[in-house]
């Protein structure tokens, strides 16, 4: 089973880099709907065994996705209480209908939370502002596009980083006709006085008090934190990591050999999958439940974590 966990971890890490954690969870839940519809189980026990095995694999991928684990936990509880009881007797058709209905409910619930976050985010006035973005958070992109459609006029600076992520931001801003410029992330000190605020998204928030974010975000946030520029995080509460984290978990190291361009020198290049950024570096955290200071947000997380641990 560990081999399967490693395989899914590799695939989902690549997907998260390309489309973000929110959309990974949507793709996965929609794929599960199709799999359940087409799955031919021998009987109810076989169906439950295979579903629970899949949930176990997806719940143990590294790094763990808060939003995905939240949804998988809800699905597991539903299966245990409604489908996988020893006394449960139902036709294959009815069983599939119930599970697909639950998956649709989870998808709708996530969308409702996105709407609530967007509604809270719209209370932040960005008219006439210059906003710096770095990661390719679809939540941040959606908020900027929404404000543009509402007639607000603002300017975006894209901190240049990984080629694909930078161009994802460029394409989205261009399509929405949002004026933007691109500045290499190592040259941002030249534009401190031009930036009014920074917008970020995250993969998850951990009990260590850190957001797990795209590589390079820590240095940019630290730089503007020192400059006292307002820094905003946009993240739904279903992205919380509601488990006790291991030391330095959630960051993966990629090592490979490279050759010097002109000299016969071989060296090892190290690349990290994510950054961990302390919650106190953010001015405000915007969620589906409201807008919080860093201390308020951390307190809300602790309460939700304790409740989750009691229930489990």
* pLDDT digit string, tens, across residues 66-98: 899 889 999 999 999 999 987 667 888 999 999
As to burial, measured by CB atoms within 10 angstroms (0-12 exposed, 13-18 middle, 19+ buried), residue 198 is buried
Residue 283 makes CB contacts below 8 A (sequence gap 6+) with 230, 231, 232, 294
pLDDT value of residue 97: 94
Which two structure tokens, joined as six digits, stand for 177? 């006709």
Q: What is the pTM of this model?
A: 0.86
∠ CA 139-111-242, nearest 5°, is 80
pLDDT value of residue 131: 98
As to burial, measured by CB atoms within 10 angstroms (0-12 exposed, 13-18 middle, 19+ buried), residue 244 is exposed
Same domain, 175 and 66: no
Same domain, 210 and 252: yes
159: left (phi over 0), alpha (psi -120 to 50) or beta: beta
pLDDT tens for residues 226-254?
Answer: 999 999 999 999 999 887 766 555 556 66
Domain encompassing residue 74: 2-118
Same domain, 195 and 110: no
The count of structural domains within the chain is: 2
Same domain, 83 and 218: no
- Look at residues 89, 118, 147 and tell me which one is the last residue of a structural domain: 118
Half-sphere exposure of residue 262: CA atoms within 13 angstroms, side-chain side: 0
> Which DSSP category does 192 fall into?
G
Phi, psi of 183, rounded to the nearest 5 degrees: -125, 130
55: left (phi over 0), alpha (psi -120 to 50) or beta: alpha
CB 128 within 8 A of CB 183: no
C-alpha 71/C-alpha 183 separation (Å) is: 38
pLDDT tens for residues 131-143?
Answer: 999 988 989 999 9
C-alpha 183/C-alpha 273 separation (Å) is: 22
C-alpha 125/C-alpha 158 separation (Å) is: 19
C-alpha 225/C-alpha 3 separation (Å) is: 42
- Look at residues 100, 118, 136 and tell me which one is the last residue of a structural domain: 118
pLDDT tens for residues 191-228?
Answer: 999 999 999 999 899 999 999 998 899 999 999 999 99
Greatest Cα pair distance in the chain: 72
Candidate from 29-33, 56-60, 146-150, 271-275 with smallest mean pLDDT: 271-275
Tokens 């995905």 correspond to what residue?
A: 68
Find the CATH number of the domain harbouring 242.
Answer: 3.40.50.10470
- The β-bridge relationship of strands 231-234 and 284-287 is parallel
- Look at residues 118, 143, 169 and tell me which one is the last residue of a structural domain: 118
∠ CA 287-247-278, nearest 5°, is 35
């Amino acid at each position: 089973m560990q081999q399967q966990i490693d395989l899914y971890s590799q695939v989902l890490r690549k997907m998260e880099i390309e489309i973000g954690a929110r959309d990974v969870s949507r793709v996965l839940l929609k794929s599960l709907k199709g799999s359940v519809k087409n799955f031919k189980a021998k009987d109810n026990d076989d169906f439950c065994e295979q579903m629970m095995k899949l949930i176990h694999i997806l719940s143990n991928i590294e790094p763990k996705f808060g939003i995905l684990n939240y949804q998988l936990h809800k699905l597991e509880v539903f299966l245990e209480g409604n489908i996988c009881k020893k006394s449960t007797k139902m036709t294959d058709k009815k069983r599939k209908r119930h599970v697909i209905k639950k998956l649709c409910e989870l998808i709708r619930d996530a969308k409702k939370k996105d709407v609530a976050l967007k509604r809270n985010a719209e209370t932040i006035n960005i008219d006439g502002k210059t906003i710096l973005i770095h990661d390719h958070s679809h939540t941040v992109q959606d908020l900027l596009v929404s404000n543009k459609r509402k007639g607000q006029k603002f300017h975006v600076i894209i901190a240049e980083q990984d080629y694909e992520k930078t161009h994802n931001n460029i394409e989205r801003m261009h399509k929405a006709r949002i004026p933007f410029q691109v500045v290499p992330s190592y040259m941002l000190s030249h534009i401190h006085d031009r930036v009014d605020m920074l917008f970020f998204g995250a993969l998850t928030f951990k009990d260590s008090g850190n957001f797990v974010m795209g590589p390079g975000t820590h240095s940019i946030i630290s730089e503007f934190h020192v400059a006292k520029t307002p820094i905003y995080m946009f993240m739904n509460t279903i992205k919380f990591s509601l488990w006790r984290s291991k030391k330095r978990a959630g960051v993966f190291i990629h090592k490979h050999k490279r050759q010097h361009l002109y000299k016969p020198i071989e060296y090892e290049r190290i690349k990290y999958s994510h950054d961990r950024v302390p919650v106190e570096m953010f001015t405000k955290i915007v969620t589906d439940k409201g807008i919080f200071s860093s201390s308020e947000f951390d307190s809300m997380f602790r309460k939700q974590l304790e409740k989750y641990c009691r229930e489990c």
